[in-house]
């Protein structure tokens, strides 16, 4: 009898107390730089843009040689909206504009004043009316919410000084189901060039984990035979 009474009391207490609310997550502090000075060379007032054009768009750079194959990983069509984050000298400017057509939109995003001036001149001189040049910050791509169908980050992710914040802004800029394509350098001790080991802060697995932690779903790794130092990862915003 006593045991039954205690059981009834415990059930009554549980019913009255109601569901327990989950403890709120502790607030995150300000994100610290993962690589201070990562973009100093691009922010320098005396930056030689032509030197970067020669380096970024020459046949010695496999990204330039494989430009069409890389562009195909985005699956762009007429009317698509795409952001080239870290557009640099504009290697993908014209092919992206052609892929989306006059009814689409290309956002050429960069942090470098020198590159931005160069991109604006190209847009004007080449009549690329579907291209908008956007100056971003070190923590945000500065694009409107749900404004693009795809984001392309080519040899640029390792320059994100505040990757968590930058990824949050990319997530916001993508419409639900939107595609994020990240192209970056393999960083494998004993295999990669010494310059890459010093220049790129982390390996592919680390970068993938950071992007998934920002809420993106990993889709696949694209195998492009022409790439020997770079890899291509694709993600989706849920």
| DSSP label of 213 | H
pLDDT number for residue 178:
98
With a cut of 50, list the residues of the chain below it in pLDDT: 1-25
pTM of the shown model: 0.88
Domain that holds residue 60: 47-236
pLDDT number for residue 185:
97
pLDDT number for residue 162:
97
Residues 6+ apart with CB under 8 A from 26: none
pLDDT number for residue 27:
57
**Total count of domains within the chain:** 1
Is 167 a member of any domain?
Answer: yes
CB 23 within 8 A of CB 144: no
pLDDT number for residue 60:
82
Take residue 6 and report the two structure tokens written for it: 């205690």
Give the residue from 111, 230, 127 showing the smallest Cα distance to 169: 111
pLDDT number for residue 2:
39
Q: pLDDT digits over 62-73, tens only?
A: 999 999 999 999
Is 65 a member of any domain?
Answer: yes
C-alpha to C-alpha distance for 82 and 131, rounded to whole angstroms:
10
CATH of the domain at 199: 3.40.50.150
């Amino acid at each position: 009898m006593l045991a039954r009474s205690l059981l009834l009391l415990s059930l009554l207490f549980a019913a009255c107390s109601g569901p327990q609310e989950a403890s709120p997550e502790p607030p995150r502090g300000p994100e610290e730089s993962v690589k201070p000075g990562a973009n100093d060379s691009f922010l320098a007032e005396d930056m030689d843009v032509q030197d970067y054009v020669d380096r970024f768009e020459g046949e010695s750079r496999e990204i330039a040689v494989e430009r069409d194959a890389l562009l195909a990983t985005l699956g762009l069509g007429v009317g698509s909206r795409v952001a080239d984050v870290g557009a640099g000298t504009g290697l993908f400017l014209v092919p992206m504009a052609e892929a989306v057509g006059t009814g689409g939109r290309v956002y050429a995003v960069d942090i470098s004043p020198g590159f931005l001036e160069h991109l604006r001149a190209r847009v004007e001189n080449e009549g690329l009316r579907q291209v908008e040049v956007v100056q971003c910050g070190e923590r945000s791509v500065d694009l409107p919410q749900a404004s693009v169908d795809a984001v392309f980050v080519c040899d640029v992710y390792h320059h994100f000084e505040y990757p968590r914040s930058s990824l949050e802004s990319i997530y916001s800029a993508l419409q639900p189901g939107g595609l994020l394509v990240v192209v970056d350098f393999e960083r494998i001790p004993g295999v990669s060039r010494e310059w890459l080991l010093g220049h790129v802060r982390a390996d592919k697995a680390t970068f993938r984990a950071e992007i998934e932690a920002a809420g993106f779903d990993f889709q696949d790794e694209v195998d492009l035979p022409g790439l020997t130092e770079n890899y291509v990862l694709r993600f989706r915003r849920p």
